Amino acid sequence: MRNHPIVSQDEWLAARLRLLAKEKEFTRQRNQLSEERRALPWVKVEKEYVFDGSNGREALAQLFQGNSQLLIYHFKWVSSSNTEFSRDFNVSFTPEEGKGMVFYNYEHRKFPLTEAPGISVFYKDDAGTIFHTYSCYGRGLDAVNGAYQLLDLVPKGRNEADLPHPMSWVRHHDKYDDAALEAPEARVSA
């Protein structure tokens, strides 16, 4: 952690107002980026995808549950299943890919993990036609995780500098052990 200067309230307020101006500009840029994201062209989904869901086997169209928009938060697993879905929506699942290069986040890369998050967004029109409108992977998903937004406000941030890779402190609920966690230090109280 860096050595922070200790200043008067007036000096702090002046520095805070300079940062506030940058935060407001960032908000305007984020709004513009969101508009450009919504303006991306769409791809018609031609294949019939079937998923194991809470209601048993369901087609992609059923996941909409009567709505026109669907956002799927998913993971890349090193597995031999779901290869057709993975190729279409930029997530890799083959054992070969698990040994070396995978296609993830729109490029071939050496991938050190067995899984990684992603989001795919779909739209279904009144005729029932489904379109793939957007996908996002890796660090681009930060905005959907409220914990990251809160950690970015505290002095140590996500505290990932000495970790083997960013987010290595994040685990599935059933993969924590009794050892001390490598999680960022922060408490949020309501």
Q: What is the model's pLDDT at position 6?
A: 94
In a domain, 123, yes or no: yes
Q: What is the model's pLDDT at position 114?
A: 64
Distances from the Cα of 97 to the Cαs of 102, 121, 137, in angstroms? 5, 24, 17
State whether 99 and 52 are in the same domain. Answer: yes
Q: What is the model's pLDDT at position 39?
A: 96
CB 117 within 8 A of CB 75: yes
Q: 169: closest CA among 156, 153, 185, 155?
A: 185
State whether 67 and 91 are in the same domain. Answer: yes
State whether 52 and 139 are in the same domain. Answer: yes
State whether 26 and 86 are in the same domain. Answer: no
State whether 100 and 51 are in the same domain. Answer: yes
In a domain, 51, yes or no: yes
Give tens-digit pLDDT for 63-79.
Answer: 999 999 999 887 765 54
Distances from the Cα of 110 to the Cαs of 88, 101, 104, 141, 168, in angstroms? 20, 5, 9, 20, 17
In the chain, the number of structural domains is 2
Token pair of 165 as six digits? 């890779």
State whether 121 and 51 are in the same domain. Answer: yes
Q: What is the model's pLDDT at position 80?
A: 42
Q: What is the model's pLDDT at position 77?
A: 59
Give tens-digit pLDDT for 16-75.
Answer: 999 999 999 999 999 999 999 999 999 999 998 888 877 889 999 999 999 999 998 877
CA distance 72 to 11: 46
State whether 64 and 129 are in the same domain. Answer: yes
Give tens-digit pLDDT for 145-190.
Answer: 788 888 888 888 888 888 877 767 776 667 666 544 444 454 444 4
In a domain, 86, yes or no: yes
State whether 50 and 93 are in the same domain. Answer: yes
State whether 77 and 19 are in the same domain. Answer: no
Give tens-digit pLDDT for 132-142.
Answer: 999 988 777 87
Average pLDDT rounded to a whole number, residues 121-125:
96
Q: 0.75 cut: is pTM over it?
A: no
Q: What is the model's pLDDT at position 111?
A: 63
Which residue did the predictor score with more confidence, 5 or 171?
5
Domain termination site, one of 144, 164, 179: 144
Give tens-digit pLDDT for 80-107.
Answer: 444 444 444 444 445 555 555 666 677 7
In a domain, 24, yes or no: yes
State whether 128 and 49 are in the same domain. Answer: yes
In a domain, 159, yes or no: no
In a domain, 176, yes or no: no
Q: Which domain holds residue 125?
A: 43-144
State whether 109 and 124 are in the same domain. Answer: yes
State whether 19 and 94 are in the same domain. Answer: no
CB 61 within 8 A of CB 130: yes
